[in-house]
Amino acid sequence: MSGHRIRAITRRLLQGFRRDRRTLALLFVAPIVILGLLGYLMRGSSSSPAVGIANQDSGPLGVVVADALKQSSHITTSEINSADGDAKLKDRSLVAYIVLPADFSQQAQNGNVSPEVHLEGSQPGEDAPVMQALQQALIMLASRVAGRSVSFQPKVSYLYGGSDYDTLDYFGAAFVGLVVFFLVFVITIVSFLNERSQGTLERLMASPLRRGEIVVGYMLGFTVIALVQAVEVLIFALAVLRIHNQGNVLLIFGMEALMVVAAVNLGIFLSMFARSEFQAVQFIPLVIVPQVLLSGIIFPVSTEPTALQWLSNVLPLTYAVNGMRDIMVKGADLTWPSLQVDAAVVAGFAILVIVAGTATLRRRLG
């Protein structure tokens, strides 16, 4: 081992970084952006899930629990009629509603209360604060019932999901789409840059090909490959991993196809801003990681701090993930307005990046 030669290699590497400002920026900015985002997501003043309270108790203790729930910092409450509860869960205006039955005070006096907890259930992260708030309210109730201990046996029901579902069932729906989106994006951006670095793009630009023809030709080529990949991922997820699916398989495939078209064109568009494969790969921590954190795959959008919710709501992956979950967890079909919105946003984004990619593909080199 020669220290002199090792030093030469180390020096050469650092000299290269000195001239590659973009890589330097990525090395030092990206970790702060990603960790900062994660910190804000997990510790920021997150929004509380909206919970409805239907207090049907004819005695005095239902009010005690309802008031305790209203004061809880874990949830945001509103009073509802229990008959409206399921509709509000379906339209996502509530993530849960709690029914305190007519004989609730009587149950408490008998030492065993059973409030009804109805959970929307499609996003597991939303359930914990509801149960925590209820637990605290019932502890307060216990302190008001003199002379005897009170046990709690909430009757929990799920609109979607439930005890049959495990973690993979919840995350799988989102990951089926994400895996396809991510891989197709990376392959497209690197391939398009290869076209540039091997000189063939210069040749194409000196041919009668129009910019739109290049973009659409690329899009179709990659889409064919990516759709085969999407089928493979879908079969593996449903047949081998047995991820729970309530929806129509063709609809899942349709949503995946929209994500494929969006990913291909995002790759083409962003390749215009990179000069090498190395720079292209740098888009992953800047473009893909924040979307994964903010699109509701891991943390439900409804529990994010308000500022991040605005950001989440303009990210196309949020709608794609929501659509996949709507189909696979809730069994949504195209008559559902929420799925129509999700599909329209992803399709609109795909069209936007097709236009942007075509517009930024310069025929001239300088």
Partner 1 sequence: MSETYAVNMDNVSKSFGAFKALNGVTLRVRRGEIYGLLGPNGAGKTTLIRLVCGLLEAHAGTVTVLGQRMPNVAVLRHIGYMTQQAALYPALSVEENVGFFAAINGAEAGVKDALELVQLYERRGSVVATLSGGLRQRCSLACALVHRPELLLLDEPTVGIDPQLRVQFWDYFRQMAADGTTIIVSSHVMDEADRCQRLGLIQYGRLLAEGAPADIRAQGGSQNLEEAFLSLAGRREES
Among 45, 126, 92, which Cα is nearest to 309's? 45
Nearest to 297 by CA among 171, 126, 176, 185: 171
In 148-214 the beta strands, taken as DSSP E runs, fall at 151-152, 155-158
Any alpha helices (H) in 198-315, and if so which ranges? 200-205, 211-235, 249-271, 277-281, 283, 289-294, 306-312
CA-CA distance, 2 to 213, in Å (whole number)?
Answer: 55
Rounded to whole angstroms, how far apart are CA atoms 104 and 110? 10
Backbone angles phi, psi at 156, to 5 degrees: -100, 130
Distance CA 202, CA 211 (A): 12
C-beta closer to partner 1: residue 3 or 366: 366
Strand partners, 156: 117
Instruction: Judge contact between 219 and 358, C-beta under 8 A.
Output: no
Decide whether 221 or 337 has the Cβ nearer to partner 1.
221
Q: Report, in Å, the least distance between residue 27 CB and partner 1.
A: 28
Q: Which is nearer to partner 1, 209 or 241 (CB)?
A: 209
Q: Nearer Cβ to partner 1, position 142 or 187?
A: 187
CB of 218 to partner 1, least distance (A): 13
Q: Which is nearer to partner 1, 200 or 306 (CB)?
A: 200
Nearest approach in angstroms of CB 361 to partner 1 is: 13
Cα 148 to Cα 157: distance, rounded to the nearest angstrom = 28
**In the complex, what is the shortest distance from the CB of residue 208 to partner 1, in angstroms, rounded to a whole number?**
4
118: three-class secondary structure by DSSP: strand
- Shortest distance, CB of residue 133 to partner 1, whole angstroms? 59
Contacts of 97 (CB under 8 A, 6+ apart): 51, 52, 53, 54, 80, 82, 85, 88, 89, 118
Q: Smallest distance, Å, CB 366 to partner 1?
A: 6
Report residue 309: phi and psi, to 5°: -60, -40
Nearer residue to partner 1 within complex by CB, 81 or 200: 200
Residues that bind partner 1 (CB under 8 A): 198-200, 202-210, 363-366
Contact 175, 295 (CB under 8 A): no
Nearer Cβ to partner 1, position 74 or 211? 211
CA 325: distance to chain centroid? 9
How many other CB atoms are found less than 10 A from the CB of residue 199?
9
Q: Which is nearer to partner 1, 135 or 207 (CB)?
A: 207
Q: How far is the CB of 300 from partner 1 (least distance, A)?
A: 44
Residue 196 C-beta: closest distance to partner 1, Å: 10
